[in-house]
Structure 1
Amino acid sequence: MSAPLIETELSGLRLLRRGKVRDVYEVDEDHLLIVATDRISAFDCVLPTPIPRKGEVLTALSRFWFRKLEGIAPHHLITTKIEEMPQEVQRHADSLQNRSMLVRRAEVIPIECVVRGYLAGSGWKDYQRAGEVCGHLLPVGLREAERLPEPIFTPATKADEGHDENISETRMADLIGREMTQRLRELSLKLYSAAESYARTRGIIIADTKFEFGRDADGNLLWIDEALTPDSSRFWPVEEYRPGSSPPSFDKQFVRDYLESLAWDKRPPAPPLPDEIVNATTARYLLAYRLLTGDEL
């Protein structure tokens, strides 16, 4: 196994931003290079310990979903093959192989388009406290991890650092307009429903996920960033799913659960992860990829 990639420095390419996981470079005025590192974040903190092969899984799974669901939403992905990228990218092939996407440049719409199909995480906590999730009033008596009567759209503001903030659709409309809000809600629900139906046939429940969108130079709406990965979604095994308790996960909830067991106040600096947690997380990400795609990475 190659050494985990924590950070990139690519000469000849201008670094636009370094996110919690991805480094984004300008290739030219129409194209960007998105590099998925092996960094992992939890509770809005980047952890000091990387997860080997994580960036490979995020890239390959995003490629899979973008291609599979492009009939629902056009996307920004051009290629993940280094040999098909410009020469200035190819000369960094050793560090970029299997973890890079050449994409169409887009103006990012600053909203996290979250769809929840099951009652979990912060949604479960909100329901216990108020009987609703992000303004959606839900039936009485639902259990933890229970499937919702229908998926709900719960937008949030985007934050490169610190906490995303859940917002109402009314607030979303104030920020980006009523028509765009409606388009993004409908598109997000369609993408989630199609992905969730397919994933169930592969033994995985997608409990919730988030989508991001942008506009290209011609004003066309594009699905951008990552697509239904273990970083952006909550994955549960169908065979072990039981409403009433938190199911085991194929995503970074495994890391969150470990961190919850520590006396950590969830403020930087985050604690390091022990080897057994790191190795088990890598194994979960690889298994999620294999189950969903039918291929070994």
Structure 2
Amino acid sequence: MPKRWSTKDVDILRPPSEHEPGLATFRFTDDYSVFHYSKMPDRIPDKGEALGRMAAYTLRRLEQAGVPTHMVAFDPPRTMTVKFLRILDPARGELHPGDRARLVPLQVIYRNRLPPGASVFRRLAAKKVTLDELGLTGLPTPGATLKTPIIEFTTKLEEIDRFITHAEAQALAALSDAQVAEVKRLAHVINGVVNEIAQSRGLTYADGKVEFGIDGDGRVILVDTAGTADENRFTLDGVHVTKQILRDFYLARGLEADVQRWAAEGRPRSTWPTPEPLPGDLLSLVADMYRSLCELWTGETIWGAPPLYDLASKLRAWQLPAPQSATRPS
């Protein structure tokens, strides 16, 4: 479900009740955000359509695999009708065990690979997380594929998301033992389906994130999107072909550290300086990347975009060298 700086336009058709989800439309826009800054100064042509089509394709595949989702219908090129849930903030005492038709206020991150410089290594070194908490028996080799994907949780409704333990996640989201077990099970199923699609397209799938909700029957369902260039990190011959390219551009300019500092200082968002815009050649290249990845992912020719392999060599020039380039999805 979107934060107030979401890159989706939301139109509520029917508000949710305590016992039943409502109905809304998501319109995928050409805006984007990195490092929780809010909307960035540029709009990427056709990005919204590319994400909407990729999301709809993936959600259909997930439904076929038995994953219940919030999607009701997709109206090309970029509008999705969804079950709309209540957003109850635990920090305000609004969320209680047994609540239904509501968002699970967590982001669930799954990792198939740990690239050099991944945040996991930094947090392990700082003793902010343990191997046992990650389900690991030893320190993985950077860049290696994990035998079993790692599942992690972050907060969702806070100003800046933060990693929390599985126990903290269950308590924060007011989930029963059965519900948190189902969240983890579905996360593994979703990860498996996305990985299957990625491999069939010649892509390497490092990690991704998903969000869940509780429907009117108390069932855990997938909300928001999965299997897109913004929620997942794919590479082609070692080159990032997702939003990571945009993260790298602004990471090199210190935006992540700036956002963390401004948030820690309690500085109002309205006073945050506007980041520099993307260079024109990078903006055009990223637009083609979104179009090309969408066509590869869905198997549909929509724009006749350049093949992703042809774009990879150009994208490589904008990719930060490891270890700096590995940040979690945001």
User: After superposition, where does 1:161-240 map in structure 2 within 5 Å?
Assistant: 162-175=159-172, 176-177=174-175, 178-237=177-236, 240=237
Instruction: Kindly indicate whether the alpha-carbon contact (under 8 Å) linking 1:204 and 1:291 is maintained by their aligned counterparts in 2.
Output: no
Identity, % of aligned pairs?
26
Q: TM-score w.r.t. structure 1 length?
A: 0.79
Q: 2: CA distance between counterparts of 1:218 and 1:102?
A: 20
Shift of 1:17: 6.6
8 A contact 2:135–2:150 mirrored in 1: no
- Partner SS state of residue 154, structure 1: strand
**In structure 1, C-alpha distance between the alignment counterparts of 2:214 and 2:280, rounded to whole Å:** 41
Number of matched residues?
A: 258
> 1:66 maps to what in 2?
59
Aligned pairs (5 A) from 1:107-122:
107-120=102-115, 121-122=118-119
TM-superposed CA distance for 1:233, in Å, is 0.8
1:125 to partner: Cα distance: 3.5
Instruction: Identify unmatched segments of 5+ residues in structure 1.
Output: 1-15, 82-96, 241-246
Q: After the TM superposition, which residues 1-297 of structure 1 pair with which residues of structure 2 at under 5 Å, given as runs?
A: 18-29=4-15, 30-45=22-37, 46-70=39-63, 71-81=65-75, 98-106=77-85, 107-120=102-115, 121-127=118-124, 135-136=133-134, 138=136, 142-159=140-157, 162-175=159-172, 176-177=174-175, 178-237=177-236, 240=237, 247-264=238-255, 265-267=257-259, 268-269=272-273, 270-297=275-302
Offset at residue 103 of structure 1 (A):
0.9
Distance 1:23 1:134 in 2: 40
Distance in 1, matches of 2:170 and 2:3, equals 27
Tell me the CA shift for residue 37 of structure 1. Answer: 1.2
Distance change (3 Å), C-alpha of 1:145 and 1:20: farther
Give the 3 Å change call, closer, same or farther, for CA 132–33 of structure 1 in structure 2.
same
Q: Residues 132, 274 of structure 1: CA spacing in aligned structure 2 closer, same or farther, 3 A cutoff?
A: farther
Q: CA deviation at 1:162?
A: 3.5
For the residue of structure 2 that corresponds to 1:135, the secondary structure is: helix
SS of aligned partner of 2:240: coil
CA contact (8 A) 2:13 2:23 kept: yes
Aligned to 2:239, the other structure's residue is in SS state coil
Deviation at 1:295, TM superposition (A): 1.6
Shift of 1:224: 1.0
Residue range with higher mean Cα deviation, 179-188 or 211-220: 211-220
Report the secondary structure of 1:164's partner residue: coil
Is the contact between residue 126 and residue 133 of structure 1 (CA under 8 Å) also seen in structure 2?
no
Q: How far has the Cα of 1:134 moved from its partner?
A: 9.2
Q: CA deviation at 1:193?
A: 1.5
> What is the Cα deviation at residue 225 of structure 1?
0.6
Cα-Cα RMSD: 2.4
TM-score (norm 2): 0.71
Contact 2:61 2:193 in 1 (8 A): no
Q: Partners in 1 of 2:229 and 2:131 — Cα distance?
A: 22
- The Cα offsets for residues 95-132 of structure 1, whole Å up to 9 and x where unpaired, read as xx612111122321111111111103323433566695
Distance 1:259 1:167, change over 3 A: same
Q: SS where residue 226 of structure 2 aligns?
A: coil
Deviation by residue 1:224-279 (Cα, 9 ceiling, x = unmatched):
11122111111111xx1xxxxxx311111101111122254433433221112211
Q: 1:260 to 1:18 in 2, by over 3 A?
A: closer
| Residue 133 of structure 1: how far off its partner (Å) | 6.7
